């Protein structure tokens, strides 16, 4: 009996060591796991051409904090109307000042959280293999360059990119000469797609949109004095009760994410 006990004692010590080792492995594993936040997701309504930048920013934020951020992308006009109709957004990022002003006048944003976040440029694009070369200036032969095709542009009465585009063409004295050659779409990404598929020989989009599509190239940049400044304001909505909205707002405004914006071609406003 004593011999059996003496054999079991080493086995017991080995088993105990294995258990302690297993516990240590579990503890180390738990410490290395990403943080898991408890509470509601942050819901962001954003202009569509921030897609790639926000995907990268929200993924980085979730890794660092455990807070999950959901993003709804569409034209600023569509998103502002949705917020007006009670859509549950915590944060709104508009592609122009007008639609943020629209919500502000209706007390639908927390005015003390509003800030001008980013800037952009307006460009003329063509398919990658297009022979078009142009210098954008008053009276340049845009109608002739279309060669019977269509100019892809966002809806010009409500969508920011379309409003900027029309303003620039009016200032350059070209609007009346191309009105019959315009195809209006809901978003800059839709205009980009038409040109990428060669369904339109030219299009007006943001510089950041053009940067995402290898099938197009920029053939000209519209002078900044031909359209209102392209500014992306951000704010927390009045109906938001999410305690995590403020922390994410501070994060997207921080220097920590500045390189991400700049990588996609945005100008960070300070």
Residue 64 domain flag: yes
Residue 33 reports pLDDT greater than 90: no
Residue 156 domain flag: yes
DSSP code string of the chain = -HHHHHHHHHHHHHHHHHHHHHHHHHHHHHHHSPP---SPPEEEEEEGGGHHHHHHHHHHHHHHH---EEEEEE-HHHHHHHHHTT---SEEE-SSHHHHHHHHHTT-B-GGG-EEEEE--EEEEEETT--------TT--HHHHHTT--EEEE-TTTSHHHHHHHHHHHHTT-HHHHGGGEEEESSHHHHHHHHHTTSSSEEEEEHHHHHT-TTEEEEEE--GGGS---EEEEEEBTT---TTHHHHHHHHTSGGGHHHHHHTTPEEP-
Per the structure, the count of domains in the chain is 2
Residue 110 domain flag: yes
Expressed as residue numbers, the domain containing 214 is: 122-226
Residue 22: the pLDDT is 44
Residue 8 reports pLDDT greater than 50: no
Residues 237 and 115 in one domain: yes
Residues 90 and 214 in one domain: no
Residues 157 and 108 in one domain: no
Residue 18 domain flag: no
Neighbours of 34 (CB within 10 A): 10
Residues 129 and 206 in one domain: yes
Residue 38: the pLDDT is 56
Residue 139: the pLDDT is 93
Residues 110 and 237 in one domain: yes
Average pLDDT over residues 247-262: 97
Residue 6 domain flag: no
The candidate with the shortest Cα–Cα distance to 250, out of 50, 62, 115, 118, is 115
Tokens of 141: 């032969």
CATH (domain of 212): 3.40.190.10
Residues 242 and 114 in one domain: yes
Average pLDDT over residues 58-84: 97
pLDDT tens digits, one per residue of 122-177 = 999 999 999 998 999 999 999 999 999 999 999 999 999 999 999 999 999 999 99
Average pLDDT over residues 190-217: 97
Q: What integer best gives the mean pLDDT of the chain?
A: 89
Instruction: Give the span between the Cα atoms of 100 and 190, in whole angstroms.
Output: 23
Residue 2 domain flag: no
Residue 37 domain flag: no
113-127 in b/e form (b: 16+ CB < 10 A) is bbeebbebbbbbbbb
Residue 264 domain flag: yes
């Amino acid at each position: 009996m004593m011999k059996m006990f003496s054999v079991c004692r080493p086995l017991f010590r080995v088993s105990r060591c294995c258990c302690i080792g297993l516990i240590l492995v579990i503890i180390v594993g738990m410490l290395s796991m990403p943080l898991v936040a408890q509470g509601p997701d942050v819901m962001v309504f954003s202009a569509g051409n921030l897609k790639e930048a926000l995907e990268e920013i929200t993924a980085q934020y979730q890794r660092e904090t455990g807070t999950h951020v959901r993003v709804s992308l569409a034209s600023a006009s569509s998103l502002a109307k949705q917020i007006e109709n009670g859509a549950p957004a915590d944060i709104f990022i508009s592609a122009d000042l007008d639609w943020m002003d629209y919500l502000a006048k209706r007390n639908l944003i927390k005015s003390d959280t509003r800030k001008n976040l980013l800037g952009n440029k307006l460009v003329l694009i063509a398919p990658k293999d297009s022979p078009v070369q142009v210098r954008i200036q008053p009276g340049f032969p845009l109608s002739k360059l279309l060669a019977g095709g269509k100019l892809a542009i966002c809806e010009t009465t409500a969508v920011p990119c379309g409003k900027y585009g029309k303003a620039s063409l009016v200032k350059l004295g070209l609007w009346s000469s191309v009105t019959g050659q315009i195809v209006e779409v809901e978003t800059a990404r839709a205009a980009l797609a038409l040109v990428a598929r060669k369904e339109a020989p030219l299009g007006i989009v943001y510089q950041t949109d053009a940067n995402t599509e290898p099938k197009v190239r920029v053939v000209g940049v519209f002078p900044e004095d031909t359209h209102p400044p392209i500014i992306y304001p951000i704010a927390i909505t009045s109906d938001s009760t999410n305690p995590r909205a403020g922390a994410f707002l501070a994060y997207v405004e921080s220097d920590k994410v500045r390189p991400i914006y700049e990588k996609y071609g945005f100008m960070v406003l300070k």
